[in-house]
Structure formats: C-alpha cells, structure tokens
Amino acid sequence: LTYRATDGSGLKGTFNEANIMGMETNYDLLAIFDKEFGDIRIDGTIGGNIMTARTDRKSINANDLVVPDLFTIGNAKGVQGVSQYESMKQTQSIFGSANVSFRDYLFLAVTARNDWSSTLPQDEWSYFYPSFSMGFVFTEAFNISSDILSYGKLRGGWASVGRDTNPYLLQPTFSPIGGLWQGDGVYSLPGTLPNSALRPESSKSTEIGAELRFFFNRIGIDVSYYNVLNQDQIINVAVSNASGYNAVTINAGEIQNQGVEVIMNLTPVQSRNLTWDIDLNYAKNKNTVNSLYEDLETYRISSMWASSVEARPGQPFGTIIGNSMRRDEAGNLLVNDAGRILRDNNQELGNVTPDWVGGLTNTFRYKGLSLRVHMDAKMGGDFIAGTIRWGGSGGALEYTAEGDLREEGRVWDAVRESDGAVNDVRISGAAWVSDWSRTVENWVMDGSYIKLREVSLGYTLSQSKLGIVGNYVNNIRLSIIGRNLAILYRSPENTFGIDPEVSSGNSLVGLGYEQMTVPVSRNIGARLTFSF
C-alpha cells in the first residue's frame, strides 16, 4: 500500500494499493509398515500427494486525484489503473520408501517418486526420480573392540531428483498494460518467449563417505565425497530484440559440482566437572559449467554497472566479466596521448565461487557454566563492490582526497600506447578518479573472511539448587548470546573495509554484487529458559 500526498509537482496525490494472496493446499495419503524377519527388519512408507498452489494479485492505482489527498479509487483523475493476476499450479505424486537393516550393521534405504506437474508439456509432465543408499558398520559386523577404534562406518548412495517450473511458461499469455485504445483495454505479450517443449530439470548425485571414532569417542571424523550433475536447467536466454522478444525460455546447461566435506569432533579435556569440545568442519567444492545450450557461449546470471556475472562452458559457475586497464606485454599501464587510461572490454576478472568454507566451534563446560565460541570462514570467491564504484566516482572514499590529488591532479604511472614513451601528462583529480573508479577491474576483490559468528555464555541452575521452586521446575538456564560480533580477517585486497558476506540480492539475482551496504548489525541478547 503506497500513498503520496500533494507535493510541488502539481499533482493532487497518487496512490497504489495491492492485495496479494498465496495459498498452497496439500492432500496426503500414507501407508506405513514395519516388519521383522529374524535378523532382518524392513520399514517404510507408501503414499501419494496432490499439491495445488494458487496466487491471486489485484491492484488499483491513480496517477492523480480530483480532490487533494483523498485516497480512494473513485477520486482518481483520468483513467483508473486496475490490474489482476491469477495463477494455479498442481503437482500429483506417488512415492515410496523402504529401509532394510541386517543385524544393526548393514543398512539399505531405497526411495522412489513420480510427479505429474501442470507446468510442463503433457508428454513431459511425468518424471520419475529414485534414490538408494547403503551403510555398513564394520566395527559391529567384525566385532572390533579396541581402545583406539571405537566406531567405524562406510556409506554410499546415489540419487536422482526432478524439478518442474513456474506456471505459464509453455504458451504466450496476454497481460494488460493500462490505458485504453478506442475504448478497449491494451494488452501485450510477454517479453520472454514461452517454450511448449520444456522438459523437467534433473539432478543426479553420487556420494561416498566414512565415519570413524577413536579413543572412546574422544576423536571423531566424518568424511564425504560427492559428485552432483545438474542437467536440463530451465533458464531464460537473451535473444535479439528483432525477434519481438528479449529472451526465450529453454532447457540448457549441465553444471557439475564435485567436492569433499570433513567434520571433526574432538574432546581434549573430559573430567567430572570440566569438558572441552572442539567441532571443526571444512568443505571444498569444485564447480564446472560443462555445457550450455548448443553453441551458446555464455549465460548472464546477473549484471550491474557495465559488469556481469556469467556461466561459461569449461569454467566455474559465476565468472565475473568487465573491463580492465590495458597493459603492454611488460605489464605497464597504457594511456592515450591525453594521459587517460585505456581499457579492454569483456575481460574475465574473477569468480564468485569460494575455494573453501569452514567453521570452528569451541565449547567449554564447568559444572553448570558453559561457554560456546563459534567462528566461520570463507576463503576465495570474489565480489564486485558497488561501494568502490559509486563511492569513488562520487568522491566519498578517502583515496579521492589523498595528498594534493584534488588540487593538482595526478600523472598515471604508465606509457603511451601510441609511441611507448613514458607518460608525462597530468590530468585533473576528477579525471584520474574517473579513470580508476569506472574500471570494473578495480571493483573486484577477494571476498575471503574469518568471522566471530557467535559467543554464548550460560549458567544452568539444577533442580537440587532451586529449593522449593525445584518442586515445579527441573532447571533454569540463563544465557547471554552475541551474534555477528567481529570480522577477524579480511583479504588484504579489501582495503575499504567492506563486509564481503553482504550481497545485493536473493538467490541468483544480484549474485556477486555488493551495493553500498551499511555496516552490518551486531546482536547481543539474553535468554531465560525454564525446563519442566
């Protein structure tokens, strides 16, 4: 709901009012079984689901009013703006799962599901996706009892997952654009060409791993390797505007993710009153765009300010593209005869995918007192800083006023492209800052960080210490919790103190961009918990 009262524009007020409703209804039918046959136990589920999702959006607006600041649609001056959008999507599914165990050391899990989606063409709206996984506790199977090895398990699995899309991507639908033509409403086709031959997306993954515990569970390690292949992703690809559209919806792309995940648990100190636990996790993912659609060379994920983040075959997902300062073979900057920087366009300047991520948690417990300190880290992965782009060109960053730059200008440490001579042309401070701040290369920086993510200090009063209150309460716990407390490390490239974790958008929209973000908040709070 948006109102704008009378202002100096001559309008007598404007308003826009929208009513948006979303509803999802699910009907489930389940049959559950659990049987034992000697050393073998089988349990599982068989069922079906019907899911219906509806969206209803209505809006009215007036660009001007007859009576000032009377915000009703009957007071609209000229044509009243009215719009309505409805969508419905239904998915029908049948599914089943079964878990088989043998003597509590050999386990098999199998699942299967088939969906029928209204958002896909009739000959493609049915898609089946199964999975299976196995686990083998070899310490139990071979009766291994050791002071060193306390527990050992091997596991592996394979899974296939299907996915449909949004409603109304198969056939063109008209949308009102407002106004009248000879007394009739005006409509337009969508800017993106629908595709009546869409297929469901698919993802196939394989995982193997092991879980080991040592020294009476004082040391534990869990290691996994995975390989995920995403195919037939439904995306919008730009096309020539001469076609009457600016994009087309297609199945395109094959993206592969391979990686390892490691979780380690340590208990260096364990006594009657004092315990110290350490939890460490590490994950490294190798992401590769294997292919796009036919001869498509790049897919633009997001873009701002003459830069873009793209998917390119043979490269990791999220390549940063933009212009860079032109250099000769010796690495010298090149300028023109007027002393201004030269640039090369469409250069690969980095990638948003991190090299690895991880975390470290220390937990100390002494009688009823506990202290938990959690840190996490991301190493590698670049981002595009809008703070540099606009803070530089607007003169808000410190470097734009260093020394006598604004008063006397500066000479680029470069050579002239025309004759190779050392540059000796002084340009104004505004021109120098413009050269630097309008080059995408200078906005891209390493997004590595280590953060003190959370610290919590708590004390538990047990039932024995509560006196008469202990007749009604098992325990009382008071905690003080601080979150997002400090950035312990930034990449040396991040000289402007930008929080590299802040993004301009959700999901893929705004991926890799920071846009003049305000300082992030530090949260400190208290919690009182009663256990009955």
Whether this model's pTM surpasses 0.75: yes
CA pair distance 177, 187, nearest whole angstrom: 5
User: How many angstroms from the chain centroid is the CA of residue 250?
Assistant: 22
On whether the CB atoms of residues 237 and 183 are closer than 8 A, the answer is no
Sort 408 into a burial class: Cβ within 10 Å, 0-12 / 13-18 / 19+. exposed
What letter does residue 194 receive in the DSSP assignment?
Answer: -
On whether the CB atoms of residues 498 and 477 are closer than 8 A, the answer is no
Q: Sign (positive/negative) of CA torsion 384, 388, 393, 394?
A: positive
Cβ count near 445 (within 10 Å): 22
Cα separation values, 455 from 191, 371, 374, 449, Å: 50, 7, 6, 18
pLDDT in tens, 246-293: 888 888 888 999 999 999 999 999 998 899 999 999 999 998 988 888
Cβ count near 259 (within 10 Å): 15
pLDDT score, position 448: 93
Closest CA to 279 of 262, 266, 268, 261: 266
pLDDT score, position 370: 94
pLDDT score, position 274: 93
pLDDT score, position 73: 81
On whether the CB atoms of residues 424 and 414 are closer than 8 A, the answer is no
Cβ count near 189 (within 10 Å): 13
pLDDT score, position 467: 67
Q: For tokens 């000032």, name the residue.
A: 68
pLDDT score, position 140: 92
pLDDT score, position 173: 81
> How many Cα atoms within 13 Å fall on the side-chain side of residue 149?
13
pLDDT score, position 236: 84
Element spanning 141, H or E: helix 138-141
Burial letters 125-155, b for 16+ CB under 10 A, else e: bebebebebbbbbebeeeeeeeeeebbbbeb
Residue type, 407: E
3-class DSSP string for 397-429? CHHHHCCCHHHHCEECCEEECCCCCECCCEECH
pLDDT score, position 495: 84
Cβ count near 311 (within 10 Å): 23
pLDDT score, position 506: 54
Cross-strand partners of 55: 22, 87
CA pair distance 62, 77, nearest whole angstrom: 7
CA pair distance 237, 367, nearest whole angstrom: 61
Closest CA to 439 of 509, 318, 334, 299: 334
Closest CA to 214 of 263, 280, 265: 265
pLDDT score, position 504: 54
Task: List helix spans (H) across 173-219.
Answer: none
What letter does residue 143 receive in the DSSP assignment?
Answer: T
C-alpha dihedral (388, 393, 395, 401), degrees to nearest 10: 80
CA pair distance 110, 157, nearest whole angstrom: 10
What is the CA angle 469-473-476, rounded to 5? 95
On whether the CB atoms of residues 233 and 252 are closer than 8 A, the answer is yes
Contacts of 391 (CB under 8 A, 6+ apart): 397, 437, 496, 516
On whether the CB atoms of residues 84 and 57 are closer than 8 A, the answer is yes
pLDDT score, position 157: 97
User: How many angstroms from the chain centroid is the CA of residue 189?
Assistant: 31
pLDDT score, position 505: 54
pLDDT score, position 471: 66
- Walking along the chain (532 residues) 10 residues at a time, the average pLDDT comes out as 60 82 94 93 96 91 82 78 85 96 94 95 93 95 90 96 90 74 76 89 96 94 96 84 85 90 95 94 93 81 86 89 92 93 92 93 93 95 87 84 88 91 92 91 92 93 68 79 93 86 65 78 88 74
